[in-house]
Structure 1
Amino acid sequence: MVKNKISIHNKSDKPDNIVLKENEIIERCLEIENHLPNFMKDFFLYLKSGVALSTRLAYLEDVLFFCKYLVTESNLTEADSTKLISINEFNQITAKDINRFLGDYCSRYTMENGEYIKVIENRNRALARKKSTLSVLFKFLYRDEIIEKNITDGFNPIRLPKPQPDAIKRLEIDEVARMLDIIDNGSTFTDKEKIYWEKTKYRDKAIIILFVTYGLRVSELQQLNISSFNFNRGDFKIYRKRGKEVLMPLNKTCEKVIKEYITQQRSPDHSLDDIDKDALFLSLQNKRMTIRAIRNLVKKYTSLALGTSRDNGYSPHKLRATAATSLIQQGFSIYDVQNLLDHDNVTTTQLYAAHKKDVKREIVKNFEWLDEI
């Protein structure tokens, strides 16, 4: 069935592209809900009002995955579709059943993909997310008296490795400089690659500098519009997780590279479709760049800066870590960096502060009390 073209009647402060993206997520959520049992309707309402939109989608995908497991891989239901699973059958599920689902099935399973069989392995972090989803679901059903027992206390713990500051992947300052030089002169590219580089170098430089200056999330950068920027006031607007609208100050470097891109490389509005006229970063097809394209771009340039293969290049999130570490090394407090990067908890920011240990060593080394030393 061909979907009707969507018309946006937007009376909010959000740009149309963000409203459209949110609508796509909402439609996906509703589609999943239609495949889940009716007794979960109040749970759907709870997710709609209680968590971020992206979290709502992630929870629903996990619940649907669990219900598919019940139908196709277990003897816990007689239903032949996820929609027909009954309350009584859900009421009979025990903590042991959940532990078997997480520990035995989820850790490694297969999916048929056309003529191929895809083997999927999940690490503890993915298993912990599925466990969290089921904990929320079963606690809600118990609270709403849909099931008789709260089985979540019997869920096995899933050990997650403690983040180690020294293991955080990020670029050093000299590697960032090397990456910017590569974008400027294209010296590492073949003649064929230089044809593409000439068409995108101003755009690519603006993207990289925004990442390493502000530590933006890839979705925050992908959603940027020309109208997001107020050059007279020296700021620009981004939309963060949970729909938070934030004004970011614009420094001279970022203003310069963005204006260069807009004036020297970005296609004029008259050559664009209405939906893409306000988009800041465009592909060569004159469409708003996708998150996947931005990831590939970052991987390409970071791999060149690191002198490694394209597969071993860094993701945009590693440039977020680069920004955090560089700011702390410049002497900014972890609380200022926490605010800039939108970390929910300052302990996340403290992981990057641990990289200052070399600075501490230099301070102590040059601070001797005994003259003869």
Structure 2
Amino acid sequence: MLWQSYIKGFKAYLKLERSLSDHSVDAYLNDIKKLIQYYQALNQEPDLTEIKAADIKSFISWSNELGMHASTQTRVISGLKAFFTYLLIEDIIQNDPMELVEAPKLTRKLPDMLNIYEINELIAAIDASKPEGMRNKAIIEVLYGCGLRVSELTELKISNLFPQIEFIKVIGKGNKERLVPIGGVALKLLDIYLNEVRVHVKIKKGNEDFIFLNRFGAKLSRISIFNLIKSLAIATGLKKTISPHTLRHSFATHLIEGGADLRAVQEMLGHSSITTTEIYTHIDRDYLREVITQFHPRS
């Protein structure tokens, strides 16, 4: 295909113009690869300038027949919209084939959340006698105590810790910076890890400022955090399906159930839209029933 130069330019555009992380850039490029795979399945090499909305809709139908989930289709359509917008900006195409293409409607599925007792059990299941034990305790406390995305945790730096004022500086999506409060328990565990454990690790060059390191002295990967959460869930016999995002979800939900202002939670989570934050406002039925019983005049 003759698309490679355009894809290379799109990659540079995402990095330089939109300041996206490597992870986000890879996600966009994978969306384009799916469209390429569709044409390869048809044994076609279409001209980018000739692709129309009908072609994109045929691609979506093909994806649907292959069993692609609606949320994945929405993600791919979003990536393709960005790609064809870039082609318009560069005058490579004159008409946007994505203009009349709509993403499938999604039903919002709320992820499992943990109560404070379950979170305490996860932390208690960590063997602090092992070299990585105190690091792992600090990881869980920071994920839950600050509501971080897993990528934000792995990129967290010592130079962005401000323990005197109990804040950390987080680099979120699109390299956007935000200050997030950090509680005393998380700070204490971080202090122990940094000053009693991490100091004994031979740090790989270029990783000196990253807080969380693996046994080889390099920053932890996202998959390492996923594996940690999974192993702790198994160790505690937890039946829920959880991931690092579960702790972020629990952080937001517990704040809102406790009466925190939605705008404040939005700021701490680093959401650009309040609509995104609203997914965390689900409250268990018992709590809702209690509110109705207490405050509704007809209850």
2:73 to 115, 127, 136: 127
The match for 2:155 is 223
The match for 1:243 is 175
Return the alpha-carbon distance in structure 2 between the equivalents of residues 236 and 243 of structure 1: 15
User: RMSD value over aligned CA atoms?
Assistant: 3.2
Q: CA deviation at 1:199?
A: 2.2
Segments of 5+ residues of structure 1 without an aligned counterpart are 1-33, 78-84, 109-120, 187-195
TM-aligned CA distance change 1:168 to 1:61, over 3 Å: closer
Q: CA deviation at 1:203?
A: 0.9
Q: CA deviation at 1:219?
A: 0.7
Amino acid at match of 2:249: A
Return the alpha-carbon distance in structure 2 between the equivalents of residues 291 and 369 of structure 1: 50
TM-aligned CA distance change 1:203 to 1:74, over 3 Å: same
Amino acid at match of 2:106: P
Q: CA deviation at 1:169?
A: 1.0
Larger CA deviation: 57-66 vs 205-214: 57-66
Q: CA deviation at 1:322?
A: 0.8
Q: State the number of aligned residues.
A: 297
Query: Are 1:278 and 2:209 an aligned pair?
Result: yes
The match for 1:174 is 117
Amino acid at match of 1:323: F
2:137 to 205, 210, 214: 205
> Whose RCO is larger (CA < 8 A, sep 6+)?
2
Q: CA contact under 8 A between 1:43 and 1:137: conserved in structure 2? A: yes
Q: CA deviation at 1:75?
A: 4.8
Return the alpha-carbon distance in structure 1 between the equivalents of residues 292 and 218 of structure 2: 54
Q: Deviations over 1:202-224 (max 9, x none)?
A: 11110001111111000111012
The match for 2:189 is 257
TM-score, normalised to structure 2, is: 0.83
Segments of 5+ residues of structure 2 without an aligned counterpart are none
Query: Are 1:162 and 2:107 an aligned pair?
Result: yes
Percentage identity across aligned positions? 28
Structure number with bigger Rg:
1
Return the alpha-carbon distance in structure 2 between the equivalents of residues 40 and 278 of structure 1: 33
Q: CA deviation at 1:268?
A: 2.9
Amino acid at match of 2:32: V
Return the alpha-carbon distance in structure 1 between the equivalents of residues 4 and 182 of structure 2: 49
2:49 to 87, 91, 103: 91
Q: CA contact under 8 A between 2:148 and 2:248: conserved in structure 1? A: yes
The match for 2:282 is 354
Amino acid at match of 2:261: S
The match for 2:254 is 326
The match for 2:146 is 214
2:244 to 316, 337, 341: 316
TM-aligned CA distance change 1:170 to 1:94, over 3 Å: same
Larger CA deviation: 132-141 vs 38-47: 38-47
The match for 2:266 is 338
Which residues in structure 2 correspond to 1:19-34 (within 5 Å)?
Answer: none
TM-score, normalised to structure 1, is: 0.68
Return the alpha-carbon distance in structure 1 between the equivalents of residues 93 and 138 of structure 2: 54
Q: CA contact under 8 A between 1:107 and 1:123: conserved in structure 2? A: no
TM-aligned CA distance change 1:209 to 1:369, over 3 Å: same
TM-aligned CA distance change 1:229 to 1:143, over 3 Å: closer
The match for 2:42 is 74
Q: CA contact under 8 A between 1:43 and 1:140: conserved in structure 2? A: yes
Q: CA deviation at 1:180?
A: 2.3
Return the alpha-carbon distance in structure 2 between the equivalents of residues 43 and 260 of structure 1: 44
Q: CA contact under 8 A between 1:63 and 1:134: conserved in structure 2? A: yes
The match for 1:51 is 18
TM-aligned CA distance change 1:222 to 1:137, over 3 Å: closer
Return the alpha-carbon distance in structure 2 between the equivalents of residues 44 and 366 of structure 1: 55
Q: CA contact under 8 A between 1:175 and 1:306: conserved in structure 2? A: no
1:102 to 60, 64, 87: 60
SS of structure 1 residue aligned to 2:252 = helix
Q: CA contact under 8 A between 2:156 and 2:170: conserved in structure 1? A: yes
Amino acid at match of 1:273: K
Q: CA contact under 8 A between 1:235 and 1:248: conserved in structure 2? A: yes
Q: CA contact under 8 A between 2:151 and 2:222: conserved in structure 1? A: yes
Q: CA contact under 8 A between 2:147 and 2:251: conserved in structure 1? A: yes
Query: Are 1:60 and 2:29 an aligned pair?
Result: yes
Q: Deviations over 1:264-287 (max 9, x none)?
A: 322436x32332333211222332
1:290 to 221, 225, 234: 221
Q: CA contact under 8 A between 1:267 and 1:286: conserved in structure 2? A: no
